[in-house]
Amino acid sequence: MGHVFISYARPDEPLAQLIAEELRGAGFEVWRDDELPAHRAYAEVIEERINGAQAVVVLWSGEAARSHWVRAEADTAREARKLVQASLDGSLPPMPFNQIQCADLKGWDGQSSAPGWRKLLGSVTELAGKPAADNQRVKSRDVSICILPFQNMSGDSEQEYFSDGICEDITTDLSKVSALEVIARNTAFTFKGQSVNVCEVARKLGVTHVLEGSVRKVADRVRINAQLIDGASGGHLWADRFDRDLTDIFTIQDEITKEIVKALKLKLLPEEKKAIEKRRTNSPEAYNLYLLAKQYWVTGNHGDVRREERVMRICSRAVEIDPYYADAWALLAIAQSSLRYNYGRDVDDGFAAANAALSIDPDIPQARLPIVKRLLQRNRDEEAAAEMEKALRLGPDSWEVNKEAGRFFLSQRDLASATRHYEKAVELMESDFHAWAMLSTCYVATNDSARLREVGKKMVSESQTAIQHDPSNGAALGILAGGYALLGEKEKSREWIERALLVDPENVLMRYNFTCVLAAFLGDKEEALKMLAGTLAVAGEYQVRIAETDPDLDSLRDDPRFEKVLSGARKRLGISAPEPVTSPAQP
């Protein structure tokens, strides 16, 4: 569903509210500043919402033209090429906005047939996409629920990982109840940080109930508030507060799940009860460390070796505390594998840790990914494909598995399969700007220009969100430059490349991404070869293997300097050239 931001002057609020209601009625997700959360800074939220919107509707009037806030919001939208303008009183927008088309809503009273409204709606639809009809989701159960992201009330943004982890675990537990349909975590997390109307959420998602809550974690104490709400009436069916020692965290999760099942009048089968009560670990300390490591892995700076080192340290401590914690072993294995093959560090390649995870839980799909990577490095492609197939069979809805499957099939030049798995990865983790960038590679290689522009917009919006949290995130800076290049804003792309190289010059992944941007999108062969030479001079084996088959670098392959750079990297790492790919690339 398209996200729309509305900018207006305070005296124009009645009309802004009417326009918001009409856009919502047309199926768009609409945000205006009446929904500002009480605990966050005004400017921070406004910037976040504008960056995340596909269209920004600016409502001009004499008062709005004098508002520094409206002008600033309009300028940000204009720079991002998502500005939609309407005049409420017949006056022209101020300079430089008077050079852009503007819908006339003077005297408009909500009539959908009015020319000004049709013009505004058409522009919003063009930018934000055709809105999906409500309740199009096929319902598989009579009772359904969306677990909204729990609000972090700890007074420390660094504790966000804990509240997110609690919410995800409750989602997982409720998913084990056969009589209950649970909305996927990724869909629910699109509402993260928003002040939402619960009944509107229920209507949009087609669910009967919504669970919302908050988490406060201070030292060794945790307080969780949870409310189960009827999606039609907005009434509370159940609410409770749990104020306990952190050691009781698993008991609290069990109690919340059972109370929800009870309030919904569902029957919990014996095997379902057993599955819910089965914990991956019985150690609250190990659990807390795993959630922290997972957050660093998902949101950290890709290409900065410190991310892998940090995750490895934290997971190593978690498995010291609980040697039978399969999830921690699997994440440790993934971090080790990346350190070994992406950065050439002299560490275990994750094979031992992966097998430790599988010996505890043979059905954990993520543990098979380091094994896939080891087999690929040893040119045992058929065995690697078999392991990849096992991982996909065990974890068809795993973000990590689908993203690695995308990489695997792209290395085989199986573009159809790579595209399918990258599309699944961004569906599961919309904030993964790197997966969006890899999807753009697939669309470029298959000449899918229709989808390419939408992917470019997502690369820009999701990278901007990451940069707001960490301005030094080199990977996000790199993807942002690529997104602007995809959208045809070449000068802006080059500006971000220069800025990123000043901020994070040692980020190998970022520099490799710039090589792809220069070669595939900016058409600068000389700079691309120069960037590639510097990158592969220090890159690990895995990155060199990617360069050997990456479609983004196809424009460089007929230049003798390209093979010279690859040969030098292979010689440095002591690896041989790959066998030619016999299967043709798919159109």
State the CATH number of the domain containing residue 181.
Answer: 3.40.50.10610
Residue 578 and residue 379 in contact, taking contact as beta carbons nearer than 8 Å:
yes
Find the domain containing 103 and state its range.
3-128
So what's the pLDDT on residue 343? Answer: 81
- The CATH number covering residue 515 comes to 1.25.40.10
How many Cβ atoms are within 10 Å of 94's Cβ, its own excluded?
Answer: 14
Q: What amino acid is encoded at 232 in this protein? A: A
Please name the residue that has the structure tokens 């917009």.
Answer: 457
* Peptide bond connecting 96 to the previous residue in cis, omega within 30 degrees of 0: yes
**Same structural domain, 462 and 516:** yes
* SS3 category, 425: helix
- Is 27 a member of any domain? yes
Tokens describing residue 480: 């942002």
Please name the residue that has the structure tokens 């950290």.
Answer: 300
So what's the pLDDT on residue 583? Answer: 42
Write the burial class of residue 70 (CB in 10 Å: 0-12 exposed, 13-18 middle, 19+ buried). buried
**Same structural domain, 110 and 166:** no
**Same structural domain, 204 and 86:** no
- Is 389 a member of any domain? no
So what's the pLDDT on residue 584? Answer: 39
- Is 324 a member of any domain? no
- Is 49 a member of any domain? yes
Q: Exposure pattern of 201-230 as b/e (b: 16+ CB <10 Å)?
A: bbebbbbbbbbbbbbbbeeeebbbbbbbbb
- Is 180 a member of any domain? yes
Eight-state DSSP code of residue 520: I
Tokens describing residue 60: 């001009």
**Same structural domain, 160 and 122:** no
So what's the pLDDT on residue 42? Answer: 52
Dump strand ranges (E) for 90-235. 103-104, 143-147, 151-152, 180-182, 209-218, 221-230
**Same structural domain, 114 and 152:** no
**Same structural domain, 53 and 112:** yes
Question: pTM for the whole thing?
Answer: 0.68
**Same structural domain, 561 and 485:** yes
**Same structural domain, 231 and 164:** yes
Distance (Å, whole) CA 278 – CA 250: 10
- The CATH number covering residue 17 comes to 3.40.50.10140
Domain count, the chain: 3
* SS3 category, 6: strand
**Same structural domain, 96 and 152:** no
**Same structural domain, 587 and 468:** yes
So what's the pLDDT on residue 446? Answer: 86
Distance (Å, whole) CA 1 – CA 449: 21
Q: Exposure pattern of 409-437 as b/e (b: 16+ CB <10 Å)?
A: bbbbbbbebbbbbbbbbbebbbbbbbbbb
**Same structural domain, 50 and 107:** yes
Single residue among 81, 100, 128 that ends a domain in this structure: 128
So what's the pLDDT on residue 134? Answer: 44
Residue 170 and residue 211 in contact, taking contact as beta carbons nearer than 8 Å:
yes
Q: Exposure pattern of 26-53 as b/e (b: 16+ CB <10 Å)?
A: bbbbbbbbeeeeeeeeeeebbbbbbbbb
Distance (Å, whole) CA 92 – CA 87: 7
Tokens describing residue 455: 């992917």
Strand order, beta sheet including 3-7: 29-31, 3-7, 55-60, 83-87, 103-104
So what's the pLDDT on residue 35? Answer: 52
Single residue among 251, 279, 307 that ends a domain in this structure: 279
Distance (Å, whole) CA 308 – CA 293: 10
Instruction: Return the axis-axis angle of helices 381-394 and 399-411, rounded to nearest 10°.
Output: 150
- Mind listing the pLDDT tens digit of every residue in the chain (587 residues)? 468 899 998 888 889 888 988 887 777 888 776 554 444 455 666 777 787 788 999 999 999 998 888 998 898 888 888 899 999 998 889 988 888 889 999 988 887 778 889 889 888 888 887 654 444 455 667 899 999 999 988 877 778 889 898 998 999 899 889 899 998 887 888 788 777 888 888 888 889 999 999 999 888 899 999 999 999 888 899 999 999 998 888 889 989 999 999 999 998 888 888 888 888 898 999 999 999 999 889 887 777 888 999 999 999 999 999 999 999 999 999 999 999 988 878 889 999 999 999 999 999 999 999 999 999 888 898 999 999 999 999 998 889 999 999 999 988 889 999 999 999 998 888 888 999 999 998 998 888 887 888 899 999 988 988 888 888 888 888 899 999 998 889 999 999 999 889 988 888 888 888 998 999 888 899 999 999 999 999 888 878 888 988 888 999 999 999 999 999 999 998 888 876 544 434 33
**Same structural domain, 262 and 159:** yes
